[in-house]
């Protein structure tokens, strides 16, 4: 069971890394193209006046997706170990404390997910769209809810792995 949970967690982590990477690359491309077109407009004194429509909202939603995906992808490495409090504890106890710490991320992911699902339903009911591009907000909220659910699920998997099975995880400082 433990190996199956680890494989599931690694697979979900890889999925989150792909989503986060694609979102980040798209964010960078929108930014580079928009800045390049604005620079071209300045060079030609406005003769070439092109820009990326809705670039600010595209960047903001892509940033949301990349951050949520990155959080879900690396949740097991999120604990900041305070050596003053844990240096005398044995490794088994540190691992179990790490598992308990991850419960907070699971709860946070669940709260974000339910709030975003509510927002998505409301957006679909009322026809809410983005300001510049007029894209429906429902799918944006639902995709963010999906990423929040992945954060919660991966946190719960690692709560079980470290809190129940006592499996050690890599922490923020590389232990």
Q: How far apart are CA 13 and CA 23, in angstroms?
A: 15
In whole angstroms, what is the distance from residue 80 CA to residue 90 CA? 17
pTM of the full predicted structure? 0.86
Q: What is the pLDDT of residues 30-63, one digit of tens each?
A: 999 999 999 999 999 889 888 889 999 999 999 9
Average pLDDT of span 147-160: 95
Instruction: Please count the CA atoms within 13 angstroms of the CA of 119 that sit on its side-chain side.
Output: 17
Q: Give the domain ranges of the chain.
A: 2-164
Which pLDDT tens digit goes with each residue over 98-142?
A: 778 889 999 999 999 999 999 999 999 999 999 999 999 999 999
Predicted pLDDT at 29: 98
Q: Which two tokens stand for residue 132?
A: 């510049």
pLDDT at 77: 81
């Amino acid at each position: 069971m433990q190996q199956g949970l680890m494989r599931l967690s690694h697979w979900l982590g890889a999925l989150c890394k792909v989503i986060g990477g694609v979102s980040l690359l798209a964010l960078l491309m929108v930014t580079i193209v928009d800045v390049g077109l604005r620079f071209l407009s300045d060079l030609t004194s406005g003769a070439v006046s092109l820009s990326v429509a809705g670039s600010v909202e595209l960047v903001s939603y892509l940033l949301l997706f990349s951050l949520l995906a990155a959080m879900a992808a690396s949740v097991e490495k999120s604990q900041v170990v305070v050596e003053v409090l844990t240096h005398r504890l044995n490794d088994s106890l540190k691992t179990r404390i790490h598992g308990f710490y991850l419960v907070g991320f699971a709860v946070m992911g669940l709260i974000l997910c339910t709030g975003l699902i509510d927002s998505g339903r409301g957006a679909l009911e009322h026809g809410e769209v983005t300001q510049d591009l007029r894209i429906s907000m429902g799918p944006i909220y639902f995709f963010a809810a999906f990423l929040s659910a992945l954060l919660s699920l991966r946190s719960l998997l690692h709560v079980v792995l470290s809190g129940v099975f006592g499996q050690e995880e890599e922490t923020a400082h590389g232990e």
